[in-house]
Amino acid sequence: MSALIDFKKLVVGNEYARKELAEVWGYQGFQGLSRGVITPRKSNVIILFVTTGLFKLWDGRAVNSIHIPELLRASHIKPWKSSDAAERLDPYNGLLLSPIFDTLFDKGFISFDDHGKILLSKQIMDSCEVLSLSGEEKLVKVYNSNKVYLEYHREHVFLK
């Protein structure tokens, strides 16, 4: 395998060496390789499973206008730990988010309604300006298949 892989040529289900993907995404060592990959235990190989599918599904972004793959994270809507095997691999159970949106979403500080409008937790209302949140943010689209996962997120993760 070549020393550098073009992000747009990554194939879902293919195996890639950790070092190669770290170079593609600009990671130092092995940090950050948990998003969108499966890592067999005691292996130096990782399997890309969702990120490229999400990139195509969301046309490069889910919420904002960032189209730079290296600045986006694949985020499960229904958390990995709460999902069954099929849900974990379902691209409709994923969003492509910037790091700040990913963190806010994973921690339950934001969610989205079935029309894609952002929902803000009361716990961050005083910090919206600092976080550059207007409350007008919206998913670029919502697929019917996203709605069951978004409902789960609102009911079990979102900090109302």
Lowest mean pLDDT among 2-6, 64-68, 103-107: 2-6
Which of 54, 63, 58 shows the shortest CA–CA distance to 138?
Answer: 63
| pLDDT per residue as tens digits for the range 113-145 | 999 999 999 999 999 999 889 999 998 889 999
What was the pLDDT predicted at 112?
Answer: 96
Q: What is the pLDDT of residue 12?
A: 54
Query: Residue 33 gets which letter from DSSP?
Result: T
pLDDT tens-place string over residues 67-94: 677 777 888 899 988 988 788 778 889 8
Q: Where are the alpha helices (DSSP H) in the chain?
A: 18-25, 51-57, 85-89, 99-106, 144-156
Q: Are 160 and 122 in contact (CB under 8 A)?
A: yes
pLDDT of residue 3: 42
Structural tokens at position 47: 């399997």
Q: For residues 29 and 14, which has the higher predicted lDDT (pLDDT)? A: 14
pLDDT number for residue 2: 38
Position 38 scores a pLDDT of 46
pLDDT confidence tier of residue 156, bands split at 50, 70 and 90: very high
Domain ranges of the chain: 73-160
Per-residue confidence at 13, pLDDT binned at 50, 70, 90?
Answer: low
Residue 33 in this model has a pLDDT that exceeds 60: no
Q: Is the pTM of this model over 0.85?
A: no
CA dist list (Å): 65 to 26, 113, 131: 21, 20, 16
Instruction: Give the mean model confidence (pLDDT) for residues 45-59.
Output: 59
